[in-house]
Amino acid sequence: MKIGLIGLPRSGKTTVFNALSNAGVKVSGFVAGKNEPNVAIVPVGDERVVKLSAMYHPAKTTFASVELVDFAGVGTGFSKEGADSAFMKLVKTMDALALVVRNFPSETGAAPAPAVDVRPVEEEVLLTDLIVADNRIQKLEQGAKKGLKAPGGQADERLLRRIHEQLNANRPVRDLELSAEEEKFLRGYQFLSAKPLIVIVNSDDSRFGKSAPLLAELGAGRTVVEFAGTFEMELAALPAEDAKAFMADMGISQSARDRLTQTAYRALGLISFFTVGEDEVRAWTIRQGATAVEAAAVIHTDIARGFIRAECFSYEDLMACGSEKAVKEKGLLRLEGKEYVVRDGDVLNFRFNV
């Protein structure tokens, strides 16, 4: 999973990036014209992995991971980036976008206005998509005049015109009701407004936890999470026990990283399943509704190709029984076929032959 951090200049994106990754990147890194994004791979905190590892004592424990990409500040002019520019190509590969908005005084003392700051970035995202849709429709029209037929025919053109109408009305593509076939078609265009959008309210210490009306306003039709950016960046550099004490004083129950990744999982409709054993305990990420054979393919395509059965039991049953042996003795281990829909927390072992 890739999450791209975007936002207006000086919104504290890189501070949030550091809070999430403990990367220690200079927070003014983009001011001097640095255009390359900051990138970090961070583990997805999951207490279930910790407990499974304590039970199996594996040689290796592997958490699911998220790639964070901290882009340079964007605002008006974002849509002027060419579709083929390196910047836009990278933004379009993100699975979700996290829009950071400032909820602290600016360097000049200007009061924060998060609800206002959200709009220009959202508008630029919509305009970027509108340009892509408009260009594609024009090409289809020109091809039709020359007697050329597009692979998808009139159905694809009708869908693009629906997209165009949606964007013209300042509504994101993600709000459209689409069939599975239509969603598959649109993946090729990588519309930015089709991606889940998470608004991160970056508050200072005095405002954190006291912005309920603001969060409610921003949360109308959006997914919102609040961070105390600078405070949580400092926390990320502390030993775990020290960090917990300071978090408790601030009323923070989970780290910034855990709060964002869990929010992103919900926004993207993702779940985790586990593989366990003496060699490795590992969490794997799949979309909600994925089948057993699709889960097998996440591990290796050969396992999916030679899929026979999946041995399956739930994490909850394992914890309640105390051991895998007890799970089997109580008849809670099941054999599932290819079409079994994997549930969050399933522990799977795949039988396969290639």
Is pLDDT of 139 > 90? no
Q: Give the pLDDT mean for 166-175.
A: 94
Beta bridge partner(s), residue 314: 346
pLDDT band at 221 (very low <50, low <70, confident <90, very high): confident
- Alpha-carbon distance 9 to 49, whole Å? 37
pLDDT band at 253 (very low <50, low <70, confident <90, very high): confident
Is pLDDT of 33 > 50? no
**CATH number attached to the domain at 2-43+63-112+195-267:** 3.40.50.300
Q: Provide the pLDDT for residue 334.
A: 97
pLDDT band at 83 (very low <50, low <70, confident <90, very high): low
Which is higher by pLDDT, 174 or 240? 174
Q: Provide the pLDDT for residue 59.
A: 97
Q: Provide the pLDDT for residue 244.
A: 86
Q: Are 186 and 84 within 8 A, CB to CB?
A: no
Which is higher by pLDDT, 38 or 146? 38
Is pLDDT of 144 > 80? no
Is pLDDT of 249 > 90? no
Q: Are 338 and 292 within 8 A, CB to CB?
A: yes
Is pLDDT of 77 > 80? no
Q: Provide the pLDDT for residue 310.
A: 98
Q: Provide the pLDDT for residue 148.
A: 67
pLDDT band at 26 (very low <50, low <70, confident <90, very high): confident
Among residues 262, 260, 280, the alpha carbon closest in space to that of 271 is found at: 262
By percentage, how much of the chain surpasses pLDDT 70?
A: 93
Q: Are 71 and 6 within 8 A, CB to CB?
A: yes
Q: Provide the pLDDT for residue 133.
A: 92
**Three-class HEC string of the chain:** CEEEEEECCCCCHHHHHHHHHCCCCCCCCCCCCCCCCEEEEEECCCHHHHHHHHHHCCCEEECCEEEEEECCCCCCCHHHCCCCCHHHHHHHCCCEEEEEEEECCCCCCCCCCHHHHHHHHHHHHHHHHHHHHHHHHHHHHHHHHCCCCCCCHHHHHHHHHHHHHHHHCCCCHHHCCCCHHHHHHHHCCCCHHHCCEEEEEEECCCCCCCCHHHHHHHCCCCEEEEECHHHHHHHHCCCHHHHHHHHHHHCCCCCHHHHHHHHHHHHHCEEEEEECCCCEEEEEEEECCCEHHHHHHHHCHHHHHCEEEEEEEEHHHHHHHCCHHHHHHCCCCEEECCCCECCCCEEEEEEECC
Please tell me the CATH superfamily of domain 122-193, with its number. Answer: Obg-related GTPase Ych/YyaF, coiled-coil domain (1.10.150.300)
The residue extents of the domains of the chain are 2-43+63-112+195-267, 122-193, 289-352
- Residue with tokens 């592997």, as numbered in its chain: 62
Q: Provide the pLDDT for residue 35.
A: 65
Supply the pTM of this predicted model.
Answer: 0.86
pLDDT band at 184 (very low <50, low <70, confident <90, very high): confident
Exposure string for 25-41, b = 16+ CB within 10 A, e = fewer? bebeebeeeeeebbebe
Is pLDDT of 23 > 90? no
- Alpha-carbon distance 330 to 129, whole Å? 54
Is pLDDT of 32 > 70? no
Mean pLDDT of the chain: 90
Q: Does domain 289-352 bear CATH number 3.40.50.2000?
A: no
pLDDT digits (tens, 9 = 90+) for 41-74: 999 989 999 999 999 999 999 999 999 999 987 7
pLDDT digits (tens, 9 = 90+) for 273-303: 999 999 999 999 999 999 999 999 999 999 9
pLDDT digits (tens, 9 = 90+) for 317-346: 999 999 999 999 999 999 999 999 999 999
